[in-house]
Structure 1
Amino acid sequence: MSTALTFAAVLPALLVAHAVGDRWAQTEHQAVTKGCAGHAGRVACASHVLTYTAVTATVTAIVCVALSLPVSLTGFLAGQAVSALTHYWIDRRTTLAAFVARFAPWKRNYYANVPGGAEHLDQSAHMVWLLVAALLTAVI
């Protein structure tokens, strides 16, 4: 039962941290540049993911300590690693666009042409991986 309770506490912590890290902690430069081709885009995305992960790690740690959750260091680090790596992959933009084209072609027009479509698919992809990160945090 403690694994289920840990998961139930860590997931909303990650979701709140995601909202803060992805919106408030991200600089305008990171937001505008992280999807660009080349070195500048990679650096902007990596710096965004670094600040984002600082937020998710801090919030998750505070929740785990405050609620005395039985989270191992390995589980904590695995959850944060999955969150960070997938966040980088999604936020490079061309990667998610290629994924949509290959595996969800019925969403290509939505992704490319509907106002906010790309961001909605971006955010829902982040949610999927935050679920995985919370599971890893709780079970490892």
Structure 2
Amino acid sequence: MNASRAARFAAAYALLRAAADVADHWIQTDHQASTKGEDAAAGRRACAAHVASYIATQASVLLGGARLLRVRLRPGPVAAALALSAASHYVADRRDPLRRLADATGKGRFVRLADHGMNGAYCLDQAWHHAFETAAALIAST
């Protein structure tokens, strides 16, 4: 990776990560947060609405930040990066897929941990998001 691509990756990752925290913790509504994991259609709609605002936030911050930093990102890779971020975010926020993955990988007790100031499901959710945001930043920086 050359220095220019490394700088694009670093900028894209920082912008995507900051936007993700804002979108997940400030933009997401209480209704979306409490409903998005439900099995019924209301859960799927709440999750889709959350992901739409999440990706809009990431796109705005990524494109605006890149412009301010004078970092050139190509539209195709940016669109692919945002699509990956959206899809992976929807899967994680439906809750059951990550719970099943945690069970399958021996993290079943941890994912259900909600004691001593610790929430295992939240920690695994955030680790999932960080991993996919890293992949998205790699894609966006190509």
TM-score w.r.t. structure 1 length?
0.95
Q: Which residue of the partner structure matches residue 91 of structure 1?
A: 93
Q: Which residue of the partner structure matches residue 133 of structure 1?
A: 136
CA distance in 1, matches of 2:108, 2:114: 10
Q: Which residue of the partner structure matches residue 80 of structure 1?
A: 82
Please give the root-mean-square deviation of Cα atoms over the aligned residues, in Å: 0.9
Q: Give aligned pairs, total.
A: 137
Query: 5+ residue gaps in structure 1?
Result: none
Q: Which residue of the partner structure matches residue 69 of structure 2?
A: 67
Q: 1:97-108 residue pairs with structure 2 within 5 A?
A: 97-102=99-104, 104-105=105-106, 107-108=107-108
CA distance in 2, matches of 1:76, 1:20: 19
Q: Contact between 1:2 and 1:70, CA under 8 Å: does it hold in 2?
A: no
Query: 5+ residue gaps in structure 2?
Result: none
> How far is the alpha carbon of 1:113 from its aligned partner?
2.8
- Give the % identical residues: 37
TM-score w.r.t. structure 2 length?
0.93
> How far is the alpha carbon of 1:68 from its aligned partner?
1.7
Equivalent position to 1:124, from 127, 134, 137: 127
Structure with greater helix share of residues: 1
Deviant stretches of 4+, over 6 Å: none
Query: Cα deviation per residue 1:28-48 (whole Å; 9 max; x = unaligned)?
Result: 000000000020110000000
CA distance in 2, matches of 1:113, 1:17: 27
CA distance in 1, matches of 2:41, 2:125: 22
CA distance in 1, matches of 2:63, 2:82: 11
Match of 2:73, SS state, is coil
